[in-house]
Structure 1
Amino acid sequence: MPRPLNDLLPASLRRAWAVDGTCPDLDLYSLFRARQISDLHRTAVVDAKGKLCYTALDRKVRCLAVGLRELGVGAGDVVGVQLPNARAAVIADLALAAIGAVALPFPVGRGATEATSLLRRAEAVAVIAAAEHRGAHPAAALLASAPEAAERTAAAARTAPDHPTALRHVIAVGPGDIPEGAVPFARLLRSDPAAFVAARPDPDGPARILVSSGSEAEPKMVAYSHNALAGGRGNFLASLMPDPAEPPRCLFLVPLASAFGSNGTAVALARHGGTLVLLDHFTPAAAIAAVREHEPTHVLGVPTMARMMLDRLEQEREQDQEGAGKLPAPTALVLGGSPLDPTTAADARRAFGCPVVNLYGSADGVNCHTGLGHSEGKPEGLTGDGDRDGGGRGIVAGRPDPRVADIRVADPTTHEPLPDGAVGEIVARGPMTPLCYVGAPELDARYRTPDGWVRTGDLGLLDADGVLHVVGRLKDVVIRGGANISPAEVERELSAHPLVRDVVCVGVPDAVMGERLAACVVPASRAAGPAAPTLDDLGRHLTARGLDRAKHPERLLLVAELPLTPAGKPDRAALRERATHA
């Protein structure tokens, strides 16, 4: 039997949210099917192959669902999905929901060793992977790292496997050569859709496992229900839709397989009946072209992506290209995954001609954002400089929405709520709260309180107006000679330097002090060559901003671009390695 994924929230709370309409109380495929019936030919997906309407998508979903069942995949089984942003990823998401299986998506950039570890720990029975993507061969790599899967693929039709929760099938998605031992995805899509019967799983049962890019030795896996995705996360997107009757058209710059990308199939399509505009790989040029051609209502990415797009627009203007710098205005540019600085927010607001939403969220079950109702980076009713208040109290994350996740600030030791203005650990509980961590009861014990609140490990405060400010991380500190330095605090101040386009601060080992702070800086486009900032420049800037000298970076690494993790976030581990040996 599949591993049980128990809900750590009181069942009475889950039911109350379903009864009062906060959550739709339907499984993801049923929600999608209702959207398909209501608008048969509406475009569901736009990718490199063109447009795919809801009815054509539904037929492919039914075919895949039948094919998966014929392979022995059933309700409650975990199936990995390692695909780039394209229609195959959407088909897989919906087909797994339709048969009551649990999807475990992870980006194509994750190596076979880490991918195999995720599949093993989740006791996945199958994985759907790309045959080829940007020179890599994920399906073949997974077969090589789990050779028993190829043997079981051949044996599955003859006898039941000895270990039903072990990986039995690697399903390869073209283009590219299908490796020997893998099941061709195209073959499953030729199954008879008339044989399809929807499973209708419990809406409060598991639907998807999100992989968190947290600080654990291995990535954390977090189980979400149908209601938590379509309800809690669905309410987040609904709050950014001025007209609920107008379906959104969402350009996802982050992988659908990331936690941020879980707002794609389950939310934009199944909950809201919208359209997904997908790029199989982010580049600033491709992203800008997609905004111009498809005119999305919502562009979802991380701040680093926005800065790269702003630089690209600046290059267009410098080269006097036709239509340079002009973009059709979306409803919102939604940026999450890492802190959004005021300079990026202001520049992006001018370039995109729309509100820039600062999203604070994580796979672990927290969500808060600044919303559409703000001007020049300030949420309505706030005073301060950009997205940061005048008291130096971190980044403004907006007012928590209890229809998504209620948020409070608690004492990190006692978990008791703290008064307004006091800094403590941010904890969250609400309709989007996940069920539990997967295969890790020690994480449940560490990060979930007895009454179901999620401990984020983030430090913050709620001001007198009920607005959340994110200050930093409990564990993300650099310890220099016994003194703690918050990299997030230094990054916030350096981001305001006119010669800094992007910055990440990391600790590097030091024989004398234990650690020293290194600033990894992408110079602004106008700061090339001799005009690039120096360590002294940064120090003078931080002094002027009032930052203690002990917190100033002692090393500077200039980079052309920040390396990104498969989930699209700045790769701090890679930068730490480079800064250590620079």
Structure 2
Amino acid sequence: MSVASSCASGSVEVPLLEETIGANLDRTVRDFPDRDALVDVAAGRRWTYRELAADVDALALGLLDLGIEQGDRVGIWAPNRAEWTLVQYATAKIGAILVTVNPAYRSHELEYVLNRSGIRLLVSAGRFRNSDYAGMVEEVRPRCPDLEFTVLFDGPRWDALLERGRLADPAVLARAAAALHPDDPINIQYTSGTTGFPKGATLSHRNILNNGFFVGELCGYTEADRVCVPVPFYHCFGMVMGALACTSHGAAMVIPAPAFDPAATLAAVEAEACTSLYGVPTMFIAELAAPGFDRYDLSSLRTGIMAGSPCPVEVMNEVIERMGMTEVSICYGMTETSPVSTQTRADDSVERRVSTVGRVGPHLEVKVADPRSGRTVPRGTPGELCTRGYSVMIGYWGEPDKTAEVVDREGWMHTGDLAVMDADGYLSITGRIKDMVIRGGENLYPREIEEFLHTHPDVLDVQVIGVPDAKYGEELMAWVRMREGAEPLTADAVRAYCEGRLAHFKIPRYVHVVDEFPMTVTGKIRKVEMRAMAARLLEGAPEGV
């Protein structure tokens, strides 16, 4: 009996949405005008779909009045808040391309994204916690020639933008919307790639609207659902699987806090009777360990999404038993695929949900191929996971050569992940071809961090690797060669050098000073050997060593 090949196609029973994000929102508003659309718990504010549409349209008209046009890049740099969502939908309505900037970025990374994508308007928080966004914007602005406008939330320019829009002629917005097409680019998300600095994955209305819609379909969403979204909006998890999954079904999106807070998340689920909760495994672990967990009424929960890294079976059992999320779903994907390619179903066993990343989603194809020959391998055989369909990005912004490295001539996106497909089409991720580090759901590529650490005056050479970590899955470790006469660097010294210039999650937790790196006879760094050596070094070692 022959073994089936490792390829599978998703169902096509429910048709793709062939409309823009703005048109889809308008349709939902007509169907469910008085249902809750958006609840910002921390700010004590809420919008029905009718009210959300009014504010989105006002902001869209304000942007048009400012001179923002279809194809212009509008950056957003802020933690989660209701205004973030208004900007997301207002830019979509006029065809401006929203560039999502990680709120943990510092000036070094902000400048790179502003210049790389040619942002004309940056909408930003003033400050949050230890991040002085306004100060960093002013610091880099002289070096960003494309940046014409900056608007701070809670500032007079934001209020003026909305007020200008409320006084404008709605016909202007209707004309702008009529000129848009579902295949137009609408979002740039910066993600670490195969080499160098982050690349801007460019996504269309069709990409992200359909991905949000079908993720919601597999979660069984209707207008009765209320989805708690503590994951960041700047990433597809928040703005696609969260916002677009909700608005394409008439469901309510609940923002528990600007940044993840276990107690605030649990309180929001209780107060808003949420039926669904999102997070990476570390978030669910923190919620289950929150003081007074058993006092929260979570009886409204039935489903949710866990993604970003594998879920331990003990955690999955607790999420189902103690949180009532009997239909919780595991999703797998990448920014370049809008993001979800595979997903577990509501009736899948706990074993399926902890050992696999589910089956292919609707209107998508997946295959597991030999990385060298490109041939599809038999089921049960490891190879590179590839995906094809509506979700594959338009390309990396301004980098066609980099796009061609990951999307082949037949339209297959090569994920760089090693996977195995079983007889029923379920996929298990077994490793990564790319040297990516995944820390608590954040994808980190060492070369960007290495290039930054090379700017330290005492560093001769540096290699960054991922090492196992019980809490985050992986942590960063820097192997450093010092310049002659320089004092060996400590983890604290590296942290001090990076703070304010690199996002906190990119700062290596461990530093190991060496004279030489393990190398092949041809002169290539052997990171596999480094990771094995690091695991031995860290057994029982003090913090940061």
Give the structure 2 partner of residue 422 of structure 1: 381
Match of 1:554 among 526, 536, 540: 536
1:83 Cα deviation after fit = 2.2
Match of 1:240 among 199, 215, 219: 219
Query: 2:284, 2:192 → 1: CA distance?
Result: 20
Give the structure 2 partner of residue 3 of structure 1: none
Query: 2:334, 2:158 → 1: CA distance?
Result: 31
The yes-or-no answer on 1:300 pairing with 2:278 is: yes
1:239 Cα deviation after fit = 0.7
Q: Go from structure 1 to structure 2 and tell me whether the alpha carbon gap of 1:75 and 1:133 turns closer, same or farther (over 3 Å shift).
A: same
Q: Go from structure 1 to structure 2 and tell me whether the alpha carbon gap of 1:287 and 1:192 turns closer, same or farther (over 3 Å shift).
A: closer
Q: Give ranges in structure 2 of 5+ residues lacking alignment.
A: 1-9, 438-464, 482-530
Match of 1:469 among 409, 428, 432: 428
Aligned length: 448
Match of 2:292 among 308, 316, 332: 316
Query: 1:74, 1:274 → 2: CA distance?
Result: 30
Give the structure 1 partner of residue 24 of structure 2: 31
Give the structure 2 partner of residue 41 of structure 1: 34
Query: 2:311, 2:82 → 1: CA distance?
Result: 30
Query: 2:250, 2:191 → 1: CA distance?
Result: 27
Does the CA contact (< 8 Å) of 2:126 and 2:153 recur in 1?
A: yes
Does the CA contact (< 8 Å) of 2:65 and 2:165 recur in 1?
A: no
Higher relative contact order (CA 8 A, sep 6+): 2
Q: Go from structure 1 to structure 2 and tell me whether the alpha carbon gap of 1:185 and 1:341 turns closer, same or farther (over 3 Å shift).
A: same
1:210 Cα deviation after fit = 2.1
Query: 1:215, 1:331 → 2: CA distance?
Result: 38
Alignment of 1:180-329 (within 5 A): 184-193=157-166, 194-196=168-170, 197-198=173-174, 199-200=176-177, 201-214=180-193, 216-241=195-220, 245-263=222-240, 267-278=244-255, 279-312=257-290, 315-316=291-292, 324=295, 326-329=297-300
Quick one: which amino acid aligns to residue 187 of structure 1?
A: A
Query: 2:76, 2:534 → 1: CA distance?
Result: 43
The yes-or-no answer on 1:387 pairing with 2:354 is: yes
SS in 2 for 1:347: helix
Does the CA contact (< 8 Å) of 1:402 and 1:430 recur in 2?
A: no
Match of 2:313 among 325, 334, 342: 342
The yes-or-no answer on 1:81 pairing with 2:76 is: yes
Query: 1:338, 1:301 → 2: CA distance?
Result: 10
Does the CA contact (< 8 Å) of 1:461 and 1:468 recur in 2?
A: yes
Give the structure 2 partner of residue 374 of structure 1: 348
1:299-353 Cα distance to aligned partner (Å, 9 max, x none): 11111111111111xx326xxxxx5365224221311112222222122222211
1:507 Cα deviation after fit = 5.1
1:215 Cα deviation after fit = 6.1
Query: 2:53, 2:74 → 1: CA distance?
Result: 20
RMSD: 3.0
Quick one: which amino acid aligns to residue 455 of structure 1?
A: H
1:541-570 Cα distance to aligned partner (Å, 9 max, x none): xxxxxxxx96892244899xxxxxxxxxxx
Query: 1:133, 1:447 → 2: CA distance?
Result: 36
SS in 2 for 1:191: helix
Quick one: which amino acid aligns to residue 235 of structure 1?
A: F
SS in 2 for 1:80: strand
Query: 2:539, 2:118 → 1: CA distance?
Result: 41
The yes-or-no answer on 1:445 pairing with 2:382 is: no
SS in 2 for 1:459: strand
Does the CA contact (< 8 Å) of 2:369 and 2:386 recur in 1?
A: yes
Does the CA contact (< 8 Å) of 2:281 and 2:310 recur in 1?
A: yes
Give the structure 2 partner of residue 169 of structure 1: 149
Quick one: which amino acid aligns to residue 347 of structure 2?
A: G
Does the CA contact (< 8 Å) of 1:252 and 1:277 recur in 2?
A: yes
Give the structure 2 partner of residue 70 of structure 1: 65
Alignment of 1:504-523 (within 5 A): 504=474, 509=479
Q: Go from structure 1 to structure 2 and tell me whether the alpha carbon gap of 1:22 and 1:139 turns closer, same or farther (over 3 Å shift).
A: farther
Q: Go from structure 1 to structure 2 and tell me whether the alpha carbon gap of 1:216 and 1:129 turns closer, same or farther (over 3 Å shift).
A: farther
Quick one: which amino acid aligns to residue 363 of structure 1?
A: T
Match of 1:61 among 56, 61, 66: 56
Does the CA contact (< 8 Å) of 2:341 and 2:360 recur in 1?
A: yes
Q: Go from structure 1 to structure 2 and tell me whether the alpha carbon gap of 1:294 and 1:555 turns closer, same or farther (over 3 Å shift).
A: farther
Q: Go from structure 1 to structure 2 and tell me whether the alpha carbon gap of 1:402 and 1:42 turns closer, same or farther (over 3 Å shift).
A: closer
SS in 2 for 1:233: helix
1:504 Cα deviation after fit = 2.7
Give the structure 2 partner of residue 140 of structure 1: 135
SS in 2 for 1:460: strand
SS in 1 for 2:289: helix
Match of 1:358 among 298, 322, 330: 330
SS in 2 for 1:456: strand
Q: Go from structure 1 to structure 2 and tell me whether the alpha carbon gap of 1:170 and 1:477 turns closer, same or farther (over 3 Å shift).
A: closer
Give the structure 2 partner of residue 115 of structure 1: 110
Q: TM (normalized to structure 1)?
A: 0.71
1:56-81 Cα distance to aligned partner (Å, 9 max, x none): 22221122112211221101111111
Query: 2:392, 2:58 → 1: CA distance?
Result: 32
Query: 1:476, 1:456 → 2: CA distance?
Result: 12
Q: TM (normalized to structure 2)?
A: 0.76
Query: 1:122, 1:487 → 2: CA distance?
Result: 29
Quick one: which amino acid aligns to residue 98 of structure 2?
A: A
% identical aligned pairs: 27
Q: Give ranges in structure 1 of 5+ residues lacking alignment.
A: 1-16, 150-162, 318-322, 380-385, 389-395, 479-485, 492-499, 512-548, 560-577
Quick one: which amino acid aligns to residue 416 of structure 2?
A: G
Quick one: which amino acid aligns to residue 345 of structure 2?
A: G
Query: 1:117, 1:558 → 2: CA distance?
Result: 39
Query: 2:59, 2:436 → 1: CA distance?
Result: 47
Query: 1:360, 1:557 → 2: CA distance?
Result: 31
Does the CA contact (< 8 Å) of 1:228 and 1:433 recur in 2?
A: yes
SS in 1 for 2:329: strand
Q: Go from structure 1 to structure 2 and tell me whether the alpha carbon gap of 1:64 and 1:557 turns closer, same or farther (over 3 Å shift).
A: farther
Q: Go from structure 1 to structure 2 and tell me whether the alpha carbon gap of 1:338 and 1:128 turns closer, same or farther (over 3 Å shift).
A: same
1:214-260 Cα distance to aligned partner (Å, 9 max, x none): 5643222111111111113311221111xx54443111111111121
Does the CA contact (< 8 Å) of 1:94 and 1:265 recur in 2?
A: no
Query: 1:501, 1:133 → 2: CA distance?
Result: 25
Q: Go from structure 1 to structure 2 and tell me whether the alpha carbon gap of 1:556 and 1:458 turns closer, same or farther (over 3 Å shift).
A: same
Query: 1:466, 1:20 → 2: CA distance?
Result: 18
Quick one: which amino acid aligns to residue 459 of structure 1?
A: L
Q: Go from structure 1 to structure 2 and tell me whether the alpha carbon gap of 1:552 and 1:374 turns closer, same or farther (over 3 Å shift).
A: farther
